[in-house]
Structure 1
Amino acid sequence: MNEELQGDQKLNKLRLAELAEKQAQLAAIVNSSDDIIVSKTLEGIITSWNPTAERVFGYQEREAVGRHISIIIPPDRLAEEDYIISQIRNGKKIDHFETVRIGKDGKTVQLSITVSPVIDESGKIIGASKIARDISAQVTSQNAARKYTERLEIMNMVMSSISEELDLNKILQKVTDATTNLTGARFGAFFYNKIDEEGESYMLYTLSGAPRDAFDKFGMPRNTAVFHPTFSGERVVRVDDITKDPRYGQNSPHFGMPKGHLPVVSYLAVPVISRSGKVIGGLFFGHPDHGRFTEEHEILVTSIAAQAAISLDNAKLLEEVMALNDKKDEFIGLASHELKTPLASINGYLQILGRRIAGTEHQLFLDKALHQVSRLTTLVNDLLDISKIEAGKLKLRIDAFDLKKIIEEAIELIQQSVSAHTITFKSNVEQCLVNGDAQRVEQVVINLLSNAIKYSPLANRVEVELRREAEKVVVSVKDFGPGIPKDKLKSIFTRFYRVDEAAPNISGLGIGLYLANEIIIRHSGEIWSESEVGKGSTFYFTIPVNIT
């Protein structure tokens, strides 16, 4: 009996020793773990607190054990503890629950926690064991990636919007509106870097978030210490409270913001600099509260300003091109008008001279001179038409006329002056009445016929067709010349455009098809060309049957 008792005692001691060893091993694992390991009762009282918990939260074990777990829970997250305990009481485990806890110093810690029930020998749930991993670095990285993605999306959205514009005012307004909204500014403005005679004044171009008269009564900002870094392009200025900045309030007569000025405490100013390095102007943002603009806002606006500067450069370039184009059109119109009178006189003198030398050996030279004057007169008239189109003064005399007869007369006129080409004509109607300007439509037909002959010098025929359809008539002029490359077809109706490789030795200014296009468009019709290199080109135009 004593032997059995002694044997049981030895066995118990052995088990106790094994249990003590396991507990020691478990304690060593808990104490050396890089994870936070905490246990608590179902009432939330902390019962264990490992060294990592001490390091992360700042509470020593003696400070934490015996206190409620709420010492590390932010007030706005206390409901999470109620949820966790309710799950534990029901024997459920919480896996990888991402949350925020707070340390002794008040700093927040991003955690991923796993909470498991603690069960005694009888199977009763007596508490909870919590393992938490600090994921602050991971969350920071994710937030940085998210912000970067959001920034790119915003940049793409804004730049997609302004890239469609070539109007300076619209670009500036879109940029000002977008950046004011993105920064959360109470108002934003773009001041164009236009210096007056005294070198101090800047012009308000666009405003967002405030009425324009909020600035009109105060005049434009001047070259003060606050504005200088922006208008000189030196750097971005971001201040949590501009009224406390040493550069603020140093200039008369206001020594600060004028009375009645929009309240500005938070201040952000970003220079907008062109690709050439010239400071176009500055974006300015204000808010009546302290510290509203962040580094993120600064980076975002700076990026948008850099991209916007490219669009502004393009818009400025377009304005300059349009101004030069207007001057060119004005010159063309004036020159064409002035040339008509001397050309008419030259033509008249040549005709008088022709009557005196008719039948002589000099007749041939006179005929050539008259032909060249006729070509020059046509060219001058075309240039004059262009100036009328650009000025919106090309008027059409709309009357009913027989399009078939107009085409036949144009063919007869051209055929008389050429012998190398035969012009054939076919039509599916005996008569083709349309409403329009007969003289201008004839001008189109003559231009297409002349081009068909001029650009097919090695061919011997031109085919013309008139076809009446339900709501329109279709006219086609086909030549058998070298053809036009497909990539050039879309440009041939552009003013002054020439396909030089098609006929490098043929003179011309590239205005005939432009005029034809404008005339047909004004008749509510269409004009286009189909071509195959080596097989010739066919030009088509349509006119509605009932033009009013």
Structure 2
Amino acid sequence: MPIFSLKLKESINQPSCTMEDIKELKEKLASYQKENSELVRRVLELEKTESRLKKSARSMEEKSATLSAIVKSSDDAIVSKTLEGIITSWNSSAERIFGYHESEMIGQPILKIIPEDRQDEEIEILSKLRQGIRVEHFETKRLTKNGKLLDVSLTISPIRDTSGVIIGLSKIARDITEKKLEEQRKHNFVAMVSHELKTPLTAITAYIQILLQISKKDSNPFYATTLTRAETQAKKMITMIQDFLSLARLEEGKIQINKQKFELHPLIIDLAGDAQFLTKKHVIDLISCDNIWIYGDPEKLGHVIINLLNNAIKYSPEGGTITIHCDKEGDRIKISIQDEGVGINLADQKRLFERFYRVNSDKIKTVSGFGIGLYLASEILRFHDSKIEVKSQEGMGSTFWFSLNIHQ
């Protein structure tokens, strides 16, 4: 029996103890019992919390060990650094790729492996990451210990503490030097073959055009129809070859952008006429492109527009209307090409403008192409401070658009 209970009984048995004293003592006893019950409850909660914390600690240790094993065994360089660009970790693959031992890099600025002409990149990257923006697959060059330049692909993510505050950065660097060399060899081969094919195809097209003129004097429509189709296919091949040559020049940094002031409407009229010549299933409609002057390269921008028109024809095999819109938006003109074709799903929309990417769909498996037209178009527009955007839904057609500055 608790001491307080004994004292309570003793107090009750004393002759001098009044009923008020007894009541007060009982209330105190009830209060102490309640406090004791609360203490027991809290102790049980603390034991449960301790058990959860131990499990959580074991889980964190296991995750930490797993992450450490991944970092150590990764073929990619994995580096962490402060927001000021000071290196705090350097894995074994970073040692292998860049030639510096961990002891040589911990505490050193990341600028140690960045070429002088690319150090502005680090400022831009740090600025984005401080805002919590992840940088993915950023291709650039980095320096090894012996001064060799490597092509690398960087993925950089912010590191946050438990309260969500960014306290550092994690960088994964993949050596893509061999990949770049392979791409260069491929581009050189494509450029050589394309150049060699272009000359005879141009001659073939010229001969076809001569024969086409002669055939118009003949009463047999078969000759004219056949030669017209042959001319169309030859022009398609020349366009593809031209795309490959443009791609090669672009990759070598030799693409020429010759900007000048020109009127948009006549250019689009000519391109729409060329596109209409290729199809009898489609109607190409032009809306509101009059009296618009822009400053750009008409030949390169024409390449963008004709590519979008050709795609609108190819990817709406059942025919329909293809509409070219020109809409003023402040000091810019928005040019859009809308079709009634098969449409594009969201997953493919995200990758449409990648080099050599083609949509994988049974509806368009017979459509020819190499997946470079939209890539080239997006690069040309980049030189004009613009970009292609797309809105599409499967079975509901697609709309591609871009905007250009209006020349005042």
TM-score (norm 2): 0.59
1:500 counterpart residue number: 360
Deviation at 1:521, TM superposition (A): 1.4
Tell whether the 8 Å contact from 1:526 to 1:543 is kept in structure 2 after alignment.
Answer: no
Is residue 372 from structure 1 mapped to residue 230 from structure 2 by the alignment? no
Deviation at 1:322, TM superposition (A): 2.5
* CA contact 2:312–2:322 (8 Å) conserved in 1: yes
Identity of aligned residues (%): 29
Is 1:474 aligned to 2:334, yes or no? yes
Instruction: Assess, with a 3 A threshold, how the Cα gap between structure 1 residues 210 and 529 changes in structure 2: closer, same or farther.
Output: closer
Superposition deviation, residue 189 in structure 1: 11
For residues 27-52 of structure 1, the C-alpha deviation after alignment (integer angstroms, 9 at most, x for no partner) is xxxxxxxxxxxxxxxxxxxxxxxxxx
Three-state SS of the structure 2 residue aligned to 1:328 is helix
* Secondary structure class of the residue paired with 1:337: helix
Greater helix proportion = 2
Tell me if structure 1 keeps the 8 A contact 2:294–2:405: yes
Deviation digits for residues 473-518 of structure 1 (CA, Å, limit 9, x no counterpart): 1111111112111221111112222223141222222222111111
Partner of 1:461: 321
CA contact (8 A) 2:95 2:102 kept: no
Cα distance between partner residues in 1 of 2:284 and 2:376: 23
| Residue 101 of structure 2 corresponds to residue 207 of structure 1 | yes
Question: Paired residue for 1:325, among 171, 183, 187?
Answer: 183
In the other structure, the counterpart of 1:399 is: 260
Cα distance in 1, alignment partners of residues 70 and 236 from structure 2: 50
Equivalent in the alignment of 2:245: 384
Distance (Å, rounded) in 2 between the aligned partners of 1:464 and 1:504: 26
Looking at structure 2, the residues matched to 189 and 346 of structure 1 have their Cα atoms a distance apart, in angstroms, of 55
Letter in 2 for 1:337: H
Rounded Cα–Cα distance in structure 2 between residues aligned with 1:494 and 1:419: 31
Please tell me the residue identity of whatever aligns with 1:521.
R
Once residues 482 and 508 of structure 1 are traced to their aligned partners in structure 2, the CA distance between those partners, rounded to angstroms, is: 16
Q: State the Cα deviation string for residues 355-399 of structure 1 (Å, max 9, x = none).
A: 555533433333222222111111100111111111111111011
2:393 maps to which of 491, 515, 532: 532
> What is the match of residue 301 of structure 2?
441
The residue correspondences of 1:1-16 to structure 2 (distance < 5 A) are: none
Per-residue CA deviation, residues 409-463 of structure 1 (Å, 9 max, x unaligned), is 2112222333321111212x64111111011111111111111122112132111
Query: Which structure's relative contact order is higher, taking Cα pairs within 8 Å and 6+ residues apart?
Result: 2
* Residues 478/392 of structure 1: CA separation in 2 closer, same or farther (3 Å cut): same
Paired residues of 1:496 and 1:509 also in contact (CA < 8 A): yes
CA distance in 1 between counterparts of 2:57 and 2:345 reads: 49
Q: Secondary structure at the match of 1:400?
A: strand
Q: Give the deviation of 1:209 after TM superposition.
A: 4.4
The residue that corresponds to 1:410 in the other structure is 271
Provide the rounded CA distance (Å) in 2 between the counterparts of 1:162 and 1:470: 54
Residues of 1 paired with 2:292 and 2:60: CA distance? 64
Task: Give 3-state SS (helix, strand or coil) of 2:233's partner.
Answer: helix
SS of the residue aligned with 1:394? coil
**What's the CA shift for 1:530?**
0.5
CA, structure 1 residues 157+542, in 2 after alignment: closer, same or farther (shift >3 Å)? farther
Q: Tell me if the contact between 1:401 and 1:435 (Cα under 8 Å) persists in the aligned partners.
A: yes
One-letter identity of the residue aligned with 1:422: V
Q: TM-score, normalised by structure 1?
A: 0.45
Task: Report the AA paired with residue 373 of structure 2.
Answer: G
> Aligned AA for 2:246?
D
Compared CA separation, residues 171 and 452, structure 1 to 2 (3 A): same
Distance in 2, matches of 1:153 and 1:524, equals 45
Contact 2:261 2:407 in 1 (8 A): no
Q: Quick one: structure 1 residues 158 and 326, their matched pair in 2 at CA, closer, same or farther if it must change by over 3 Å? A: farther
Query: Residue in 1 aligned with 2:22?
Result: none
Change (3 A) 1:171 1:327: farther
Alignment RMSD: 3.9
Q: How does 1:61-76 map to 2 (within 5 A)?
A: none
Unaligned runs of 5+ in 2: 1-52, 106-171
- Give, in whole Å, the separation in 1 of the partners of 2:98 and 2:282: 66
Match of 1:336 in 2: 194
Q: Which structure has the larger Rg over C-alpha atoms?
A: 1
User: What is the letter of the counterpart of residue 309 of structure 2?
Assistant: L
Mapping of 1:121-132 within 5 angstroms? none
1:541 and 2:399 correspond: no
**Which position in structure 1 is the counterpart of 2:50?**
none
Render the CA deviation track for 1:319-350: whole Å, top value 9, x for unaligned.
33332222111211121112112212222333
> CA contact under 8 A between 1:404 and 1:432: conserved in structure 2?
yes
1:158 shift after superposition? 11
- Corresponding residue pairs, total: 283
Contact 1:526 1:542 (8 Å CA) reproduced? yes
